[in-house]
Structure 1
Amino acid sequence: MSIQFDQKTNIFKLDTDVSTYAFMAYEQGYLVHLYYGPKVPDEDLSHLMYRGWYDSLSPRNPKVRDRRFSLDSIPQELPGNSTGDFRISAIEAQATAGDCVTDLRYMGHRIYPGKPELYAVEGFKLPAAFAGEDEAETLEIEMLDKVTGLKAYLSYTVFAKNGAMARSMRVENTGGSAVQLRRAYSMCLELPTMDYDMVHMYGRWAKENTVTRHPLMHGIQSIRSKRGMTGPNHNPFMALLRKGADEDQGEAIGISIVYSGNFSIETEVDTLGCPRVLAGIDPGSFSWHLEPGEIFQTPEVLTVFSTEGLGGMSRSLHRLFMNNLMRSQWTHKKRPLLINSWEAAVFDFDDNLLVDFAREAKKLGVDMLVMDDGWFGTRNDDTQALGDWQVNENKLRGGIKSLIERVNAEGLSFGIWYEPEMVNPNSDLYRAHPDWIIKAQGREESLSRNQCVLDMTRKEVRDNIFDQMAEVIGNNNIQYIKWDCNRNISEAGNAVLPKERQGEFFHRYVLGVYELMERVTSTWPHILLENCSSGGGRFDPGMLYYSPQIWTSDNTDPIERLTIQMGASLCYPPACMGAHVSANPRTGFETKGNVAIMGTHGFELDPLKMTEEEKEWAKKQVADYHKYYDLTHYGDLYRLTDPAVDPFFCDWELVSPDKEEALFTRVVMRKPENYYQMKRLRGLDPEKMYRVEGTEQVCSGALLMAAGLDLSQPWPGPEDGSSVTVHLTAE
């Protein structure tokens, strides 16, 4: 069993194949954290609870016998508010008396196989990891604030084979009066030393996922979003990397929030040099009114522990996402290789042009044509018609059914673009329902990209959008939806919620989006859903639960894409990263394809304007897409050279789970002075012999990982923007 409880010591021990997590129910019901690190056999870890010495100025409970015990320094699983612990708190509630003292103590627990689904308020479902009874085991801790009657149920699901845990909290008001929940983090992690570096991704539109690493410092450090979506500025992911650890070795802890709204990861290092990490909903834009008997469920946080550095951490998260989070049938089903019309035509197209695109794309071996923005209402530019999801038959003569039949006749399936959460003021929907947009009473409305955000907290809004979508999707042979979201939320207010519940708006918005996505994916489970938010503006695990791929960035420059995709891979598997070959002139067609094949691969260009040479390259890339599909979608990723650090190269390698096959890729960002290049590989079986495809060279995995792969080039050598792939197969 991966979860054990010792009745003598009251210690809970949660073991994976590589890690141990331990805490105990101490005197007076305090839930004290003990250990998180490499797997250990020890059963009694209670001596690890004390850090430093007793401070006479620190408040303490006189009912606890040991005078060293003070919440001011004791590590906890659920630190409350104003209890003598002066660090950041994981939960805070304001009761009828007006104070915000929140003090929850251990009452009991249960352990059971498998993992339950997460349900939020009023039956809304939260995206969460899933597992069968033979895959995981769950511990649920019951805690109670005896004064207010507030209960908290802490959930820990252990994925033993993957070094992973899923954590969340359910809060219930069992008292006799209302409680205002002001802070409810999903996870608290206490560590005994600040000997860690913090690693996370920041960015902006077209420059997402820039990786930064810096030491933990005394005080509070945080990453967060208050955009209403996760946003491109900070991803809801953080890693803690032990000093001296790197890509391939050392301890790493990965923290990923399964959520698509305002989030926060806060880290406070106290005066003893001990970090406390909290992850979950951003408390600065959140409150929740709980009447007696009402329940609030937090989103889920996934953590993984690795002794193989950042690379091992990433591969554990990738496997967890692919096997236990991304539930679409397309996660493990071969996906069509598509061409998208946006960069080729923008808004300027008709049915005949799209059929011409399809005809030429079929000659390249493409499987699907995606009609992007501009097919509905009076949508001839971005100032109008969002929200009017009726087919524009001036563009698509004969209607969408005729167009799809013509595209299908060319041998391609058909996909379509939507932006369901948005509306233009210049639209029939806005004119009919101006009250449906998000706005604060008495405030001017902001526009971004000439659009407003629909209030997805309201069922009538979601019903209207779903019914419009159903009229098109339900009556036509549509196999793919690109779900876009091109602005964030400002002037947040809700016309329906009472004053005391306005702080619930942002979370209710996300729940509404999830409900609409749940309806779409369950009504049409055959559809491949791809998420997009001005590129990677909502690239998060919550979206992956519904869509097995997300458009990584609007920036399709293959050199810029290196840091974007490698950064995303810290947390997210390559199989979910939308990546296309476009007409960007910076590199040749070969490199564009080699970069795109790290992700989902597709095309974002005008096939009618391609040269014969480009068409031949495209045909080769289509062949490679099929040849390497299992490697690129299910293989283990090894980041070999960091493009943000190395001035010349970006190298990565994908290795099949059985280690029978590997694909190495090098992109030359800047021509090096030295043309003698050896690159050590990773992840191979040292006992196997591997053949370098296209040569007579056969080397052991041990040699390829110790001496490396010879990438030397004769003069004049590789040019800026050139690339090479090397395919290895076991003999």
Structure 2
Amino acid sequence: MKKYTLLLVVVLFAEIVKGQQTQLMLKTMENIVVETKDLSLVLTVEENKDVNMVYLGKKLQDPNEYRQLNGQYKQGHDYTNMYQSAYTASGTRNLLEPAISVEHADGNQALDLKFVGQELKTIDNNRKELIIKLKDELYPFHVELHYLSNFQENVIEQWAVIKHNEKKNVKLIKYASANINLKGEDYYLRSYHGDWIAEMQREDEKLTHGIKTLDSKLGTRTNLFRSSYFALGLNNRITENQGTVLLGGLEWSGNFRVDFEKDPQDNLRIMAGVNNYASHYSLAAGTAFVTPKFSFTVSTNGLGEGSRNLHDWARKQRLIDGYGERYTLLNNWESTYFNFDEQKISHLLDNTKKLGVDLFLLDDGWFGNKYPRNADTSALGDWEENKSKLPNGLLSIVKEANKKDVKFGIWVEPEMVSPKSELYEKKPQWVVKQPKRDEYYFRNQLVLDLSNPEVQDFVFNILDNLFQKNPGLAYIKWDCNAVIYNAYSYFQKDQNNFYVDYTKGLYRVLDRFREKYPTVPMMLCSGGGGRIDYGSLQYFTEYWPSDNTDPFDRIFMQYENSLFFPSIASVNHVTTFGKQDLKFKIDVAMMGKMGFDLNLEELSADELSFAQQAVKTYDQYKHIIWHGDLFRLADPRKDNHASLAYVSKDKSQALMLNYLVQYSQVSSTSAPIQWLGLDPNKKYKIQEINLHGTNSWIPSELILSGDFLMKVGLNPILNNNRKSVILALKAIN
């Protein structure tokens, strides 16, 4: 009996000691909380100075309760105590995918980052930046983790700053921007793949144990096959208006890599950053390597709320003049392709005025003399007006456009060079290509080495000269059609730095351009949607989603892009592509920044009259589309129709865009579509707009309450005779 009593005393004593140790750990752990209006991201500094991320989700009312988080998760021992690391380093005790791996100057590949301090900066009344400072205990190697919170928009921007003071260069083997840890029962990923004219193809999957990677190795046009933007559902499959979902992507226009690792304890780790493929970056002592930002939001009310968070943030913090105006334009490409002269352009300027749009854009083919740009086989790099096509230069066209009260814009592709060009003949060392190997072309062209400062100067001067020589030039379309083959830089001493330094070189050019021309509207085009990310979009006013302008295909592309990018940025043109009628094409283009790429001579008088009226109608409602809140009401991949609503911030006006996407003898909308985002206490007058030759099936004096529209809904009455319907709502009380 005494033996059992003694054993019991020993067990109780052990439990008391264990309890005291637990209390000691709770006292020594330090919580660091990043908060927005509705979210919090919680870090802890452990007793051994490890920094862990322990929570990302709804903000708690009582900040003191964050210290209880760790005690609520009773997961098994993880062997390393690093599964929750805020920035997982490799080479010591870590067993999982690292966020950072290095090779020190002495060849050692171990890194163990410990907390040495923190700093909190207030940027403005909506944004705060937290900096967590880490250092290896043995090497003079430092990492700063930056968390910038956008309070009202519930968006967090995360990046790292890496530097060292070792005797020689340190090789960065992997260098992620973010290392996010999530807890849940299941995880559902929505990602996007594609190709030219088939961008933003949606793919949903349940993540299993191991690693799922989204990445690009193309060097330029890096979103051609895969986007870095994704949605992640926690616990439940992704839906529009319910459940917890994370939406985000990497602000980087070069090679990217996003890893999703479901660990042995069923947690999910996300590591997003520059792709380390062929890019083990050589970092000199005293030089700071700043990773691109990974920006994300978490919504507990499905995709819709998350999209609106990103849209508000992007209009405020990323796009040039995100809450401002945009030009509606007419492009000549599908009217003339490369075959034009001053007389044709003059006529197109007349057509621009006749159509009622703001700007005429002259596309590819206006340059090159020794090797004229009469096809896509020559002249890139030789940015002088072709004397046969434009004997009086661009300036005469700018002046004529001004006389006709329209703006004039120009197409450029400044990063590229044609092998058949004067530039290639004079500066072959500026071209990305392997020495002694055969050249391999993408669209008959090669890429200029933007990691070289001389090339950066050349590209900036292309743009600067256009504006200096042509006062009144009002718009730029920046294209980028080639990917990088045979990657080699004649400038770089270490080829591992090339891919990263190319993208940084691109940004240096764009920084210089925006410093000198801060408000000039500029379209981001990359052979279509090959470069849609907020790293690029911070320099542009808008982007081109795809060279595929068939309105049926565009419904799907524009719908998917709307998850991450606001409508004011999406350039949607009415073109000759597709077999649909003009009304359908215009209605689809109204999903964003509408434009035209039509030969007006090919339109009937009735069609021209309708297009002119549609421009006037669009002008009445475009501010709602550009600046309002977007609600996706019907998913074209799930239903036989797509439906989207744009609601003004004050809920006084709204626009509902509806499209039939499955055509058969029985295709129709058989039930009402429930609205979202209206004021339930307001009455709304409903009017069908963009009618073409028919009467509306919607009663002309229909007035319904926001309460009815959100609880019961409204049937736009789509069918084979009404394949697109746009309804405008206006509050009358």
Which amino acid counterpart does residue 52 of structure 2 have in structure 1? V
The alignment's C-alpha RMSD in Å is: 1.8
Aligned to 1:22: 42
Tell whether 2:627 aligns with 1:634.
Answer: yes
Instruction: Specify the alignment match of 2:485 in structure 1.
Output: 490
Q: Secondary structure at the match of 2:200?
A: strand
Question: Could you give the per-residue CA deviations for residues 310-364 of structure 1, whole angstroms, max 9, x where no partner exists?
Answer: 11111101111111111x23x3322121001111111000011011011122111
Are the equivalent residues in 2 in contact too, given 1:668–1:719 (CA < 8 A)?
no
Displacement, 1:46? 4.4
Summarize deviations over 1:545-570 as a string: whole Å, max 9, x none: 00010111101111110111001111
1:319 maps to 312
Structure-2 separation of matches of 1:175 and 1:425: 43
Matched, 1:147 2:138: yes
Correspondent of 1:166 among 129, 143, 157:
157
Matched, 1:182 2:173: yes
Structure number with greater Rg is 2
Q: Which residue among 97, 100, 114 is the counterpart of 1:91?
A: 100
- Residue 442 of structure 2 corresponds to 448
Secondary structure at the aligned position of 1:556 is classed as coil
Partner Cα distance (2:436, 2:266) in 1 = 47
Structure 1 residue aligned with 2:650: 658
Distance 1:673 1:419, change over 3 A: closer
Query: Letter of the aligned partner of 1:617 in structure 2?
Result: F
Q: Deviation at 1:29?
A: 0.8
Letter of the 2:283 partner, please give it.
L
Paired position in structure 2 for 1:332: 323
Give the paired residue count. 686
Q: What is the aligned partner in structure 1 of residue 66 from structure 2?
A: 45
Which residue of 2 is the match for residue 355 of structure 1? 346
What is the CA–CA distance in structure 1 between the aligned matches of 2:465 and 2:129, rounded to whole Å? 42
Q: Describe the SS at the equivalent of 2:492.
A: coil
SS of the equivalent of 1:27 reads coil
Q: 2: distance between equivalents of 1:218 and 1:17?
A: 33
Shift of 1:461: 1.4
Question: Structure 2: which amino acid aligns with 1:179?
Answer: V
Q: Once superposed, which parts of structure 1, at least 4 consecutive aligned residues long, lie more than 6 Å away? A: none
Q: C-alpha distance in 1, partners of 2:703/2:595? A: 33
1:687 to partner: Cα distance: 1.4
What amino acid is the match of 1:652? L
Q: 1:395 to 1:626 in 2, by over 3 A?
A: same
Distance 1:325 1:549 in 2: 11
Q: Does the residue aligned with 1:515 lie in a helix, a strand or coil?
A: helix
Structure 1 CA distance for aligned equivalents of residues 215 and 359 of structure 2: 37
Q: Deviations over 1:422-472 (max 9, x none)?
A: 000100000111111001233322111110100011111122233343333
Q: Which residue of 2 aligns with 1:420?
A: 414
Amino acid of the residue matched to residue 394 of structure 2? I
Residue 194 of structure 1 and its aligned partner are, at CA, apart by 4.7
* Residues 1:10 and 2:30 are matched in the alignment: yes
Partner of 2:279: 286
Matched residues in 2 for 1:474 and 1:551: separation? 26
Q: For the Cα contact (< 8 Å) 1:9–1:44, is it kept in 2?
A: no
In structure 2, distance between residues paired with 1:96 and 1:398: 59
- Change beyond 3 A, Cα 1:712–1:474: same
| TM-score relative to the length of structure 1 | 0.91
Q: CA deviation at 1:245?
A: 4.7
> Could you tell me how far apart the structure 1 residues matched to 2:491 and 2:466 are?
30
**1:161 aligns to what SS in structure 2?**
coil
Question: What displacement does 1:525 show?
Answer: 2.8
Q: Is the 8 A contact 1:223 1:234 kept in 2?
A: yes
Which of the residues 554, 561, 564 maps onto 1:561? Answer: 554
Aligned AA for 1:196? Y
Corresponding residue number in structure 1 for 2:214: 223
Contact 2:128 2:148 (C-alpha < 8 Å) held by counterparts = yes
In 2, Cα distance between the equivalents of 1:148 and 1:604? 59
Partner SS, residue 246 of structure 2: strand
Residue identity (%): 31
Structure 2 unaligned blocks of 5 or more: 1-25, 689-699
Structure-2 residue corresponding to 1:65: none
* Cα 1:416/1:492, change in 2 over 3 Å: same
Amino acid at match of 1:186: S
Matched, 1:462 2:476: no
Give the structure 1 partner of residue 23 of structure 2: none
CA contact (8 A) 1:22 1:35 kept: yes
Q: Partners in 1 of 2:108 and 2:166 — Cα distance?
A: 15
What residue number does 2:705 align with?
700
Q: TM-score, normalised by structure 2?
A: 0.91
- Matches for 1:213-612 after TM superposition, within 5 Å: 213-229=204-220, 230-242=222-234, 243-326=236-319, 328-329=320-321, 331-377=322-368, 378-476=372-470, 477-498=472-493, 501-612=494-605
Task: State the Cα distance separating 1:524 from its structure 2 match.
Answer: 2.5
Q: Distance in 1 between matches of 2:264 and 2:70?
A: 16
Secondary structure in 1 aligned to 2:408? strand
Contact 2:232 2:238 in 1 (8 A): no
Amino acid at match of 1:413: K
In 2: Cα distance, 1:641 partner to 1:166 partner: 30
Matched, 1:205 2:225: no
CA distance in 2, matches of 1:537, 1:441: 27
Contact 1:666 1:723 in 2 (8 A): yes
Q: Distance in 1 between matches of 2:710 and 2:594?
A: 28
Does the 8 Å contact 1:347/1:373 carry over to 2?
yes
CA–CA distance in structure 1, aligned partners of residues 74 and 374 of structure 2:
67
Q: Which is worse superposed, 187-196 or 342-351?
A: 187-196
Structure 1 pair 259–194 and aligned structure 2 pair: CA distance change class (3 A) = farther
Query: How far apart in 2 are the matches of 1:448 and 1:189?
Result: 37
Classify the secondary structure of the residue corresponding to 1:504: helix
Q: Which runs of 5+ in 1 are unaligned?
A: 1-5, 61-69, 115-132
Distance change in 2, residues 1:636/1:349 (3 Å) = same
